[in-house]
Amino acid sequence: MKTSAALTASLATLVALTACGVLGDDPAPTADATAPTATVTVTVTSTPTATRTPTRTPTSTSTAAATDDPSGTATTDDTPDPTGSATPTALGTEQSGKVLTLNEIFKKVGDWDESVYDVGDRSDVRGIGIPIAYCTSEYRPNDSRYGGELELRLQRSFTKLDFDVAQANTSPSSDDMLVSEVLKSGNQADIRKVPFDEVQHVTIDVSGTNAVKIRLFEDQREDCSSSGGIVAVISNLTLT
């Protein structure tokens, strides 16, 4: 009986060890389970980092190209005033019969502006205007609040000067009187008073003349401080 019981116990131990894999002949499952883990980790981690780095290089190249772009030079070249208004202009025969612009005036004194004005019964008149704040008995060259002056250099190339003079319909005051004075080679050639709502035409013989000045100012009145001021306008300024 004791021998049978010992045999039974040995068989039970053998079965248990077999089930636990102690006596198994193939250890491969344990090795196979760990091998794929190492392969996946190495491949996935290194590849995206290497591909992303080169994409930053074109960015700095593009910035440098934009800085060196020749179009920047063209913009700089266009910066100076193309009209050349800063350079005094002596008129030639090519300007004969042409309405002169502000940029063709040799010298300007005062706050002149080239624009479109309504004067008297005329609308949308292209002209050269100046605001005049105070009245005076004579032109004051050193104070633009009292008027302005335009000087033309003719080079003795013309025989006649023509222009229209008026007060703009937008002048603050309609009671003040505008004075137009023309000097030819330093001598007074014409002087006249121009009331509001009136356009006057001026013609001057400029034969053999090199310099002409047109002065506009507001005529003296009893109380200049109460004057609202005027906007004086010269239009159709031509030489023939």
| Shared domain check, 206 and 168 | yes
What pLDDT sits at residue 41?
A: 45
Q: 44 with 155, same domain?
A: no
112 and 197 co-located in one domain: yes
Q: Provide the pLDDT for residue 10.
A: 53
Q: Is 181 in contact with 233 (CB distance < 8 Å)?
A: no
**12 and 109 share a domain?**
no
Q: What is residue 228's predicted lDDT score, i.e. its pLDDT?
A: 78
Look at residue 56 in the predicted model and tell me its pLDDT: 41
In a domain, 133, yes or no: yes
Query: Are 139 and 224 members of one domain?
Result: yes
Q: Are residues 217 and 99 in the same domain?
A: yes
H or E element: which one contains 30?
A: helix 28-52
Note the pLDDT of residue 26.
47
Residue 226 confidence (pLDDT): 60
- 72 lies in some domain: no
Cβ–Cβ under 8 Å, residues 134 and 227: yes
Q: Is 161 a domain residue? A: yes
The number of beta carbons lying within 10 Å of the beta carbon of residue 180 is: 20
Q: Is residue 81 part of a domain?
A: no
Tell me which of 44, 64, 84 is where a domain ends.
Answer: 64
Predicted pLDDT at 222: 75
The single-letter code of the amino acid at 43 is T
Low-confidence ranges of the chain (pLDDT < 50): 1-3, 7-8, 13-85
Give kind and range of the element (H or E) at residue 108.
Answer: strand 107-109
Task: Name the residue among 225, 222, 224, 202 with its Cα closest to residue 212.
Answer: 202
- The pTM for the full model equals 0.64
Same domain? For 98 and 183 the reply is yes
Q: What is d(CA 221, CA 44) in angstroms, rounded to the nearest whole number?
A: 95
Domain boundary among 48, 64, 80: 64
* CATH number of residue 160's parent domain: 2.60.120.1060
In a domain, 201, yes or no: yes
Give how many domains the chain has, as a whole number: 2
On whether the CB atoms of residues 238 and 152 are closer than 8 A, the answer is no
CA distance 22 to 154: 122
Instruction: Say how far apart CA 207 and CA 161 lie, in whole Å.
Output: 10
Q: Is residue 73 part of a domain?
A: no
Q: Are residues 103 and 49 in the same domain?
A: no
**From residue 9, how far is each of 4, 14, 16, 18, 21 by CA, in Å?**
9, 9, 11, 14, 19
Q: Is residue 82, in this structure, part of any structural domain at all?
A: no
Neighbours of 98 (CB within 10 A): 13
Question: Containing domain of residue 55, as a range?
Answer: 2-64
Span 16-75, pLDDT tens digits: 444 444 444 444 444 444 444 444 444 444 444 444 444 444 444 433 333 444 444 444
pLDDT for the residue numbered 142:
85
At which of 43, 64, 85 does a domain end?
64
